[in-house]
Amino acid sequence: MNSRKYGLRGFSFVELMTAIGILSTGILLVLGMFPSSLSLIRKSRNSIVATCLAQKEMENIKALPYAALKMTILQSPLPLGPYPSPDSGIVFSGYASGVEETRDRLAVVKVVIQWREKNALSGEATRQVVLETRIYRYSY
């Protein structure tokens, strides 16, 4: 009652400690999300790089004449890479394989790009991106 009489205003010590506790808890929760978000960014970047490499190789394969395709990929898997990534130090590699379906005059071509990345739980994990397409063998 005396504090109102003299015009003293402010927060009590308990209110101040409660506010500091709530703020510090919020800040710690936000800071705790940074390592996991950085890990997700790294995984996403690696997936994007691998997908771009797979698309590039698939376009190179699709540009081949069917006879050349039949002599290479349809005979045995064609190794691709290695593709070193200067940013992350990860080496991407893979292969292209195909199967000829003669009845439909189609060839099913698959490009696989693989890489190893560090995982917080299991150490290292092998990841891969797989693209698959069908190439039609047309005749004139």
pLDDT tens-place values along the chain, 140 residues long: 555 566 667 778 898 999 999 999 999 999 988 888 888 888 888 899 889 888 988 888 888 887 787 777 767 777 877 777 767 678 888 888 887 776 667 788 888 888 888 776 667 888 889 999 888 877 65
What DSSP line would sit under 12-37, residue for residue?
Answer: -HHHHHHHHHHHHHHHHHHHHHHHHH
- Beta strand spans in 43-122 (E): 78-84, 91-101, 106-119
What residues does each domain of the chain span? 11-136
| Token reading at 38 | 């950085």
Give every CB contact of residue 128 below 8 A, 6+ residues apart in sequence. 50, 94, 112, 113, 114, 115
What is the pTM for the complete model shown? 0.70
Q: For residue 48, list its beta bridge partners.
A: none
* Residue 13 burial class via C-beta count within 10 angstroms: exposed 0-12, middle 13-18, buried 19 and up: exposed
